Chain A
Amino acid sequence: MRYLPLTPDDRADMLARIGAENIDALFAAVPADKLLQAPPDLPRHKSEMEVERMLSRMAARNVSAGSVPFFVGAGAYKHHVPASVDHLIQRSEFLTSYTPYQPEISQGTLQMLFEFQTQVANLTGMEVANASMYDGSTGCGEAALMAHRITRRRKAVLSGGLHPHYADVVRSLSQMTGDNVVSMPADARANEDLLSQIDDSVSCVIVQSPDVFGNLRDLKPIADACHAKGALLIAVFTEVVSLGLIEPPGAMGADIVVGEGQSIGNGLIFGGPYVGLFATKQKYLRQMPGRIAGETVDAEGKRGWVLTLSTREQHIRREKATSNICTNSGLCALAFSIHMTLLGETGLRRLARLNHANAVKLADALTAAGVEVVNDTFFNEFTVRVKGDATALVERMAAQGVLGGVPASRLSPNAGVDDLLIIASTEVNTDEDRAALVAALKQ
């Protein structure tokens, strides 16, 4: 077995040194009738070549995004990731290291996290950010709990434009803790009246922009209404590239900003691992979940970094911790940070503009072809109304080799949105891709 260095002779020598008759003598605490006498009923070990053959066969049964005209979004986006990003995150010292508990020999990870936190804070227009969450949706659930701790209220109001999966995560958790959730109905035109929902009992309002249908939301009036009643505004995004072109949530008064960072540095990978971005105001720092890297000096006075404020965390506070989170999404945060560093301000703004331009071109082409675009505003994703059932249409387009979007009903069944199709267009789409989609949709 190529991953196991011990030889049979080594094992015999070591058992003799230990004074154990055989290996099972070391498993003596296991009840004898529960100790398996043979390996589990599974295939025997395989060579690298055999494993590669088996898994490649499975992989070949999937249609990869890069192989077709591709317009699927709704929470995860196909972008080009520079080759250097994937090379760097596979360096042994990043890939095969643990959480930086020993700062003297983890300065690489710690400095990177400090840079990541600064990038996230600057992008969102907030004062502090943590070292990442599992993904945007779990971060959203944590944000609601954080708002409950700060306001000492237990009621969240969810916008109808919040990604339905994110809303499900918040609801599932709230159901367990007995907290209140008010969910506004799915609303493709962003006409909902959130303000009338905000009263003295509300802990937080959770609003996504661009929302799941692609609409841009002005958060300022919602933030003002929240603050007038002592509630917090949680701003959510699923497409972080949008922050290169639109006003950041921090500038519009958000108290907590949480979003999905997958678009930068990370592939689609069928839904994970991704990287949750989480930022807030300085005054709420101690209620923020997750790990944080901070600056300090070493014994020689040289600048360095450590994990800090860990007394909020589970390994010290146990049942009084701010969250049960242990692991963050370190390597995905690294990929994000490297890609963002490569882009820089100039590159990100250009990328965001190109995404928006491609979506506008597509929307114009669809409108010209007689397809109804629902949105007034959007970034790189918008919703169209189709004739009949969008799910059947998407299947038909897939059969023709076009992955043409996400039926809104796949996210929200029984919500009366069967004829809505959510379409994303990023920098990867060519004129030919757009033509293929328009042709497929016109049929």
Chain B
Amino acid sequence: MSTIRYTKDHEYISVDGDVAIVGITDYAQAQLGDVVFVELPTMGKSFKKGEQAAVVESVKAASEVYAPVSGEVVEINSELEGAPALVNEDSVGKGWFVKLRITDQGELGALMDEAAYADYLKTLD
């Protein structure tokens, strides 16, 4: 059973044990428009919370994606290379970016849950 947490930069992290799936939220993909390229990190790379983990590019913008928590990359979504549109079509499903092995479960506490993120989105615009 996984739990999903969110950051203010619109990354989501879906946690299952000590491994978590990271991607960008539906709100983020809608803001970006058509995603044309995702630059993913290499396998085995470690990040501290808040470090740049990936770059997502739309036709006219490039945005950095930050690690929601510290961890090591154990898998990347190589399907995005040939099909970046997956980020637009299914950002929390097939459009995920990386799987991280979490090094500090405590960091999850600082992130928003579903309800808090929904409230946060209402404050934008």
Contacts and interface: CB of A to CB of B under 8 A. Distances in A.
A and B, direct touch (CB closer than 8 Å): yes
Interface of A: 286, 310-311, 316-317, 320
A286 B57 CA distance: 12
B87 to A, nearest CB: 14
Contacts of B61: 311, 316
Contacts of B59: 311
Interface in B49-108: 57-62
A317 B58 CA distance: 12
Contacts of A311: 36-37, 57-62
Nearest first, the 9 closest Cβ-Cβ pairs linking A and B are A311-B57, A311-B62, A316-B62, A317-B62, A316-B61, A316-B60, A311-B61, A311-B37, A310-B60
- Most interface-central of A310, A311, A320 (chain B CB within 10 A): A311
Interface of B is mostly: strand
Interface of B: 36-37, 39, 57-62
B20 to A, nearest CB: 26
A311 B84 CA distance: 15
Contacts of A317: 62
Nearest to B64: A320
Given A286-B39, A310-B60, A316-B61, 13 more contacts: A286-B37, A311-B36, A311-B37, A311-B57, A311-B58, A311-B59, A311-B60, A311-B61, A311-B62, A316-B60, A316-B62, A317-B62, A320-B62
Interface of A is mostly: helix
A103 to B, nearest CB: 12
Nearest to A318: B62
A320 B62 CA distance: 10
Contacts of B58: 311
B19 to A, nearest CB: 28
- Most interface-central of B57, B60, B61 (chain A CB within 10 A): B57
Contacts of B57: 311
A213 to B, nearest CB: 42
Contacts of A316: 60-62
Nearest to B36: A311
A421 to B, nearest CB: 50
B85 to A, nearest CB: 15
Nearest to A317: B62
Contacts of B36: 311
A265 to B, nearest CB: 32
A291 B113 CA distance: 43
B36 to A, nearest CB: 8
- Most interface-central of B39, B58, B59 (chain A CB within 10 A): B59
A310 B61 CA distance: 9
Contacts of A310: 60
A358 to B, nearest CB: 48
16 contacts: A286-B37, A286-B39, A310-B60, A311-B36, A311-B37, A311-B57, A311-B58, A311-B59, A311-B60, A311-B61, A311-B62, A316-B60, A316-B61, A316-B62, A317-B62, A320-B62
A408 B57 CA distance: 48
A316 B36 CA distance: 14
A317 B57 CA distance: 10
A41 B69 CA distance: 64
Contacts of B39: 286
A346 B59 CA distance: 40
A316 B57 CA distance: 10
A310 B36 CA distance: 11
Nearest to B60: A316
A117 to B, nearest CB: 19
A320 B59 CA distance: 17
A286 B37 CA distance: 10
A320 B55 CA distance: 11
A286 B81 CA distance: 13
B29 to A, nearest CB: 16
A13 B37 CA distance: 53
Nearest to B39: A286
A316 B64 CA distance: 12
B95 to A, nearest CB: 18
Contacts of B37: 286, 311
Nearest to B57: A311
